[in-house]
Structure formats: C-alpha cells, structure tokens
C-alpha cells in the first residue's frame, strides 16, 4: 500500500462522485422497499431490499476505493455502468424516456471519467 502524492484528476473525482450518488440511490431504494413490506409480498420485498442494499453498498465502497487509488474498484464500476446502459435502453420510449436519458448520460460520464488516460495513470500501481 502506497500513498499517492498527486491529487486525483477531475474526471476521476466526477466519476467517483456520480457512482457514490448511484450507490446512495440504490441504498435508498432498498430502505423504501423494506418500508413497503406487506404480508403478501414479504419474501420479494426482503430479497429485493437485500439485493439493492448490497449493490448500492458495493458501489459506495468502489467509489471510495477509486478516490483512494485502489484500481480494483474500476472493474465493478465499469460493469455497473454497462448494466445501467442496458437498463436505460430498456426504459427508452414513453413516460420513462427522460429517466432513460439521464441514466445513459450518467453511465457514459462515469465510463469516460474512469477510462481517460489521466484516470488510468492515477490508478496505476506504483510498482509498475
């Protein structure tokens, strides 16, 4: 484990911030799902809440790790953004077009922020 002297590049900070917001939204959704448990759908609500809480927690941990120079966190973030692009594609059309557009724009911004050369250099292991 080494300490980096250079600050994180702005695109990496923006990407990590957006991922943290995504994680907070997912954890918030998990809490709302728990709050809406009824006896006829208890199992579905509980498993949904656990899934989204874990997913959101992973994104929060990955966002924190990225800002602290841990390159392992790039992979789960990229995977989450690719999933989000697929979800955005399925939401296109009708009343959900705006949500689909917002999700796609955020995913693209995060992917670009993570994959820019300055971000890749910032996350490179110091032993290389």
pLDDT by residue, tens only, the chain of 128 residues: 555 567 899 999 999 999 999 999 999 999 999 998 888 888 888 999 999 999 999 999 999 999 999 999 999 999 999 999 999 999 998 899 999 999 999 999 999 999 999 999 998 864 44
Nearest to 22 by CA among 113, 123, 126, 116: 113
Q: What is the pLDDT of residue 30?
A: 96
What length does the chain have?
128
pLDDT of residue 39: 83
Instruction: Give the whole-angstrom CA distance, residue 116 versus residue 46.
Output: 39
69: DSSP letter: T
Q: What is the pLDDT of residue 2?
A: 52
Give pTM, 2 decimals: 0.88
Helix (H, G, I), strand (E, B) or coil at 6: coil
Is residue 33 within 8 Å of residue 14, measured between CB atoms?
no
């Amino acid at each position: 484990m080494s300490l980096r002297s250079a600050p994180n590049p702005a695109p990496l900070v923006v990407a990590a911030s957006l991922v943290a917001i995504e994680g907070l939204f997912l954890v918030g959704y998990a809490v709302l799902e728990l709050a809406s448990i009824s006896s006829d759908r208890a199992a579905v609500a509980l498993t949904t809440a656990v899934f989204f809480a874990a997913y959101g927690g992973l994104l929060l941990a990955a966002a924190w790790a990225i800002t602290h120079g841990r390159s392992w966190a790039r992979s789960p973030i990229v995977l989450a953004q690719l999933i989000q692009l697929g979800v955005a594609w399925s939401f296109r059309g009708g009343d959900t077009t705006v949500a689909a557009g917002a999700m796609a724009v955020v995913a693209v911004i995060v992917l670009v922020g993570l994959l820019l050369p300055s971000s890749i250099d910032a996350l490179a292991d110091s032993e290389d």
